Amino acid sequence: MNTKLIFAGYGGQGALLSGQLIAYAAMLEDKHVTWFPSYGPEMRGGAANCSVIISDKRIGSPIIQNADAVIALNQPSFDKFEAQVKPGGVIIYNTSMTDASLKESRTDIKYAGIPISEMANELGNLKVANMIALGCLNEIISCTKNESLIEALKYKLGEKKANLIELNKVAMEKGKEAAK
């Protein structure tokens, strides 16, 4: 197994956190992992993305040329990373933040357009959009066990933010349902 993932959006949308969570979850399953963030100097609103590689073997480089899956939380991320999805891969994109005239131009990849931001608003918190996307991703390509993702979430949020765990779990479940 060698799964290559890209998570991308604006700073503050949680793309980096989603990548961290799946990386932590894979580590809990004794897999080799890299997590490689990239972001601009802005605190919020600038471009932010990360690449994650999950493997049964040692990983030589954190750089991804051809991703198995991309999560694009906004239009600029879709535009930038669609070409990096390998044939047979998938791009999960937020239809709430992409142009309605978006062209799914490639025939060699799968597209999963989901109203991620709208779904998060229905849950009462836009900040869980990344968890909806993460649940969708894990349902489509099964990177880790869902239990491992929940353990990673508990670790990352800690006791200070333990009150947010249930909402995040519900958001991941909504993402799984949307993927079906």
Helix (H, G, I), strand (E, B) or coil at 91: strand
Task: List the pLDDT tens digit at each of the 180 positions of the chain.
Answer: 899 999 999 988 999 999 999 999 999 999 999 999 998 776 667 889 999 999 999 998 999 989 999 999 999 999 999 999 999 999 999 999 988 666 778 899 999 999 999 999 999 999 999 999 999 999 999 989 999 999 999 999 888 888 889 999 999 999 999 998
User: What are the residue boundaries of the structural domains of the chain, listed by start?
Assistant: 2-179
Indicate the pTM of the whole model.
Answer: 0.92
Partner residues linked to 71 by β-bridges: 7, 92
Measured between its terminal Cα atoms, the distance across the chain in Å is: 23
Strands 2-10 and 47-55: antiparallel
Dist. CA 18–CA 157, nearest whole Å: 12
Number of Cα atoms under 13 Å in the Cβ half of residue 150 = 11
DSSP-derived 3-state class of residue 178:
helix
DSSP code of residue 113: E
Separation CA 177–CA 180 (nearest Å)? 5
Q: What is the residue-wise DSSP string for 1-47?
A: -EEEEEEEEETTSSHHHHHHHHHHHHHHTT-EEEEEEEE-S-SSSSE
Strand partners, 55: 2, 32
State residue 164's pLDDT score: 87
| Cα 19 from Cα 17, distance rounded (Å) | 5
**Structural fold of domain 2-179:** Pyruvate-ferredoxin Oxidoreductase; domain 3 (3.40.920)
- Closest Cα partner for 28 from 126, 154, 171, 135? 154
